[in-house]
A and B are shown apart, each in its own frame.
Chain A
Amino acid sequence: MTTTLSERATSGWVSALRPDRRYLPVLGTLAVLALMLVIGGTRYDNFLTPIVYSNLFINNAHLIALAVGMTFVILTGGIDLSVGSVLALSTVIIASLLQAGWPVAVVLPVAVLTGSLIGLAHGVMIQVFGVQPFVATLAGMFFARGLCFVIAPESIPIDDPAFTALAGWDSWMGHFRTTAAVVIALAVVVIGFVVLHYTRFGRTVYAIGGGEQSAMLMGLAVSRTKVLAYVVSGTCAALGGLLFAMGNRSGYALNGVAMELDAIAAVVIGGTLLTGGTGFVLGSLLGVLTLGTIQTVIQFEGNLSSWWTKIVIGVLLLIFVVLQRALSLRKT
């Protein structure tokens, strides 16, 4: 079973090397990422070093998890604005429960399941009550953010020995450093990839994005899949909170403000169409890495102020969106 999986996966990669139209946006992202790395490498010493790559993953582990969940939702043609707040809620729950002396083995599932539950609420509101995804998840965003402040208005440090041991675990592969957070984030990417491409649920997600009516007429479980997509996104957001807490060793209600925009930007830059139906989890990973590289370049530049990050991300979004638009126009 595993061999066939990897065979199919590799054949997917081989065909990606040939210019298949579906892969063009992702290849574009890859090209931009490579270009930025090359420019960075020629401009600054120490840019193309393993530690920079490692930090790219370590600093963005939470965003990777968020972007994977967001990819599912956007593929169905929806959107999830709540991920930043759910991330914050998850960090606050973890920190406050650990402070109250609960064991790690209970706290982490509780935090992640809270995210799933919020995702489920979104899904039910959207699917059963016909509320628009934008409004439903906006309400969820406010709800989660408000709940954070009800639980703990101040930042809570995490000093639970088991948690800090987990967060502090790292391993060196040559000069590349991997932390537990990165391992979890990459596991999320792999699971997301497999689920999207090799399960009935994943294929239904694509079918819904391609045309909900058609999917319904084909007899696919549209309602269940759409609700599940939001559950996936909520779960991923809560996992993102866990990764964020592992990085910061604290829980704070103001974590991840406007992070949903980063996640959406990463997904869009990664080549997923907001109308749904087209896109890849690996593209979203590349999108996150691209955003991370922009930040790294601006840090290396030194004299550039942080607000240039926002402007550059905006310009990059513009370029990608216009390119996607041009591509989709040519297709029709």
Chain B
Amino acid sequence: MRQALRHHLFWPVAALVVLVVANTIAKPSFLQVSVIDGHLFGAPIDILRAAAPLLLIALGMTLVIATRGIDLSVGAVVAVSGAVALEYISASPDPGSPVTVLVAVAIALGLSLLLGLWNGFLVTVLGIQPIIATLILMTAGRGVAMLITGGFITTVTSEPYKGLNSGFFLGLPSAVWIAVGLFVIVAVTVRRTALGMLLEATGINPAASRLAGVRSRTLTWTVYAAAGLFAGLAGILVSADTMAADANNAGIFIELDAILAVVIGGTALSGGKFNLSGTFAGVLVIATLERTVTVLGISPHVTPLFMALVVVTVTLLQSPRVRERFAVAALRRRPVSDVARGGAAQVSDDGAGAPASPGTEAPGPDIEQAPVPDAEPSAAPDDEKEVTR
């Protein structure tokens, strides 16, 4: 039980389960998935489809946050990307042809990548704080999107473009395939290669990791470019959903939702250790929450209130102070684990010292934020800190 309690996925998954149970009580058919024309239908599928853009953005955001950064501009990139794609399609002579759609998507993604590179340039080359560097594009980006659409909401009819979001492939909406597929590919790439570890090293201590031979600057730059690219893809999904490019409202506040998803998933905004599975759970929590509010018949405007409650609960439960309480209470119940403390004393070093060794997995500083499965020794350092205070 204690191991489960300390696992980084515990609180986001618990929140998700609570939401699903609440939904099922309010509407017993909530979890029902039916097959119509070989396609899957039902609330869970809807939630997944609605969550697809957020999932893409949260994916990029997790990687950016891992390097101690943040990307506020993704919402604006969503708007720009959708605007460019739809403007191109509506201006082309044949909006329904797959070639047109392909070119439109390519242009939109290329531009998004460029915007991501711009953010990365500001952060890595000019050394501007990420919040401010991306705030610039966040402010100017929507202006640019409006410039592209001429201040109107561009609407088009193009079957292939619409299919990018609501088409079906093997029973699931294509948006789900795109988002989940990319998420899995990136997660596997990051975790099966050294890339993820290098990102964490960069986030934990940029200077030390650079001295250790990690190309922090290139990595950071790449991550911002990727975040831009993913946001562009999200923009295509969003605009394909409504078939309209709304420069003012497309992807509005999606950067905040994405940051919340990352935080709910247990990745600290201070960078370093990140977990993509947590982000996935966080995205599902937010998407389900939005759905719940509609199911319960509450005005969607009130959603933020529930969002705030979930965020406050989850972040407080994840805060070091509350975790210490848990650890201390557990130890009081089981004084036997004093034995385990002897073995753990070596790694009880506080976060500051460990980053010097980014080449190793650096077990020391990670224990607090993302407890490894063997929670037994990790409980001890927490307690030790309590004593020394």
Residues of A within 8 A of B (CB): 79, 81, 125, 128-132, 134-136, 138-143, 145-147, 149-150, 153, 253, 261, 264-265, 268, 274-275, 305, 307-311, 313-315, 317-318, 321-322, 325, 329
Contacts and interface: CB of A to CB of B under 8 A. Distances in A.
A321 B139 contact: no
Contacts of A81: 256
Given A135-B315, A274-B131, A321 B136 contact: yes
B259 A314 contact: no
A135 B308 contact: no
Given A138-B260, A139-B311, A274-B129, A150 B305 contact: yes
Given A130-B320, A132-B270, A150-B305, A313 B315 contact: no
Given A125-B316, A129-B321, 16 more contacts: A128-B321, A129-B316, A130-B320, A134-B269, A138-B260, A141-B256, A142-B308, A143-B309, A146-B304, A149-B301, A307-B143, A308-B143, A310-B140, A310-B142, A311-B140, A325-B127
Contacts of A253: 301
B147 interface: yes
Query: Lowest 3 A-B CB distances belong to which pairs?
Result: A146-B305, A314-B140, A310-B143
A264 B301 contact: no
B312 interface: yes
Contacts of A268: 132, 135
Nearest to B147: A307
Nearest to A133: B269
Contact of B322 (A129, A147, A325): A129
A270 to B, nearest CB: 13
Interface string B114-145: 00000000100011110111011111111110
A314 B139 contact: yes
Contact of B132 (A153, A274, A307): A274
B139 A261 contact: yes
17 contacts: A81-B256, A125-B316, A129-B315, A129-B319, A132-B269, A134-B259, A135-B259, A135-B311, A139-B315, A141-B256, A142-B256, A142-B308, A143-B309, A146-B308, A307-B142, A314-B137, A321-B128
Given A145-B304, A307-B146, A264 B315 contact: no
A149 B299 contact: yes
A307 B151 contact: yes
Contacts of B247: 307
A142 B305 contact: yes
Nearest to A264: B135
B231 interface: no
B126 A146 contact: no
A322 B128 contact: yes
Interface string B38-79: 000000000000000000000000000000001000000000
Interface string B194-221: 0000000000000000000000000000
Contacts, number: 133
A261 B138 contact: yes
Contacts of A131: 315-316, 319
B143 A309 contact: yes
Contacts of A264: 135
B299 A140 contact: no
Contacts of B302: 146, 149-150
Contacts of B126: 322, 325
A142 B311 contact: yes
A253 B299 CA distance: 13
A139 B308 contact: yes
Contacts of A145: 304-305
A267 to B, nearest CB: 11
A195 B140 CA distance: 34
A257 B258 CA distance: 18
Contacts of A308: 143
A25 to B, nearest CB: 13
Interface in B239-259: 247, 256, 259
A317 B132 contact: yes
A330 B138 CA distance: 28
Contacts of A153: 299, 301
Contacts of B304: 141-143, 145-146, 149
A315 B135 CA distance: 11
B234 interface: no
B337 interface: no
A325 B125 CA distance: 11
B169 interface: no
A313 B139 contact: yes
Q: Which of A81, A140, A321 has the largest count of B CB atoms less than 10 A from its CB?
A: A321
B277 interface: no
A312 to B, nearest CB: 8
Q: Which of B122, B140, B320 has the largest count of A CB atoms less than 10 A from its CB?
A: B140
B143 A146 contact: no
Nearest to B131: A274
A252 B334 CA distance: 55
A81 B147 CA distance: 27
Given A129-B321, A131-B316, A265 B142 contact: no
B222 interface: no
Contact of B143 (A130, A135, A138, A314): A314
Nearest to A308: B143
Contacts of A305: 146, 151
B311 A138 contact: yes
Interface in B294-329: 299, 301-309, 311-312, 315-316, 319-322
A47 B247 CA distance: 31
Contacts of B299: 149, 153
Contact of A321 (B132, B259, B306, B315): B132
Interface string B360-377: 000000000000000000
A309 B142 CA distance: 11
A223 to B, nearest CB: 13
Contact of B319 (A130, A146, A315): A130
B320 A314 contact: no
B156 interface: no
A253 B304 CA distance: 12
A294 to B, nearest CB: 12
Nearest to B149: A307
A314 B307 contact: no
B141 to A, nearest CB: 8
Contacts of A130: 319-321
B104 interface: no
A135 B257 CA distance: 11
A149 B303 CA distance: 9
